[in-house]
Amino acid sequence: MTFEQLFKQISPEDIDDNVFKLVGKDFYLITAGKKENYNSMVGSGGGWGTLFKKPTAMCLFPIHRYTLEIIQKEKTYTLSYFPNEYKEQMLFLGSKSGRDSDKMKEVKLSAVQTPCGNMSFKEANLIIECSLTQITTPAVDDFYSQESKDYLKEAYKDPNEHRKYVFGEITAVWVKRG
């Protein structure tokens, strides 16, 4: 089946699911790279909204995350949501790094390429394609609640844990047909 036989394109404003559920309670896969070399990891948190008049998704990464390296190289990526039955496979992709493992070959999900050439999976029920627009490094001094200041100070003791807020324009939204 072709990608368009599996998925139907909708506008970002027609996404039925609740955003606080999608980025707060659920987790999702962030996939970057092209067919020959792509990598997925589990993401959670972040947010969706409008930035500079564009529908935008925001994800959070520590600075040396392998998937982030591929996002920076390719400038595009997907966020994919799945029915509950695939949670185990999703978590597998969050359990080790593609930098030093063959997890993309081992995972029991079927890769699929979008018409734009981005990668996701046939089992997904919602795919958001993003084009990288901004990577911001939050500074401890920019935080005002004690809780967030404490969290960041602790995390920043380890230079590998410096955070990146990654913003991508939502360029396409796909939902599973029927």
Ligand X SMILES: Cc1cc2nc3c(=O)[nH]c(=O)nc-3n(C[C@H](O)[C@H](O)[C@H](O)COP(=O)(O)O)c2cc1C
Q: Which stretch binds ligand X (CB under 6 A): 3-11, 40-48, 114-122, 153-161?
A: 40-48
Question: What is the distance between the alpha carbons of residues 145 and 35, in angstroms, rounded to a whole number?
Answer: 43
Question: What is the distance between the alpha carbons of residues 39 and 32, in angstroms, rounded to a whole number?
Answer: 6
Closest approach, Cβ 165 to ligand X, in A, equals 11
Among 62, 83, 115, 117, binds ligand X (CB under 6 A): 62
Among 61, 81, 86, 174, binds ligand X (CB under 6 A): 61
45 binds ligand X (CB under 6 A): yes
Binding residues among 70-89 for ligand X as defined by CB under 6 A: none
Partners of residue 51 on adjacent β-strands:
54
97 binds ligand X (CB under 6 A): yes
Among 15, 38, 57, 67, binds ligand X (CB under 6 A): 67
At a CB cut-off of 8 Å and minimum separation 6, what does 149 contact?
140, 143
Residue nearest to ligand X (CB): 97
Of residues 83, 77, 148, the one with CA closest to residue 117:
77
Question: What is the distance between the alpha carbons of residues 123 and 62, in angstroms, rounded to a whole number?
Answer: 28
Which is nearer to ligand X, 61 or 82 (by Cβ)?
A: 61
Number of residues that bind ligand X (CB under 6 A): 19
Question: DSSP secondary structure string, 141-174?
Answer: GG--SHHHHHHHHHHTTSGGG-EEEEEEEEEEEE
Could you list the residues that contact ligand X (CB under 6 A)? 27, 39, 41-45, 60-62, 65-67, 91, 94, 96-99
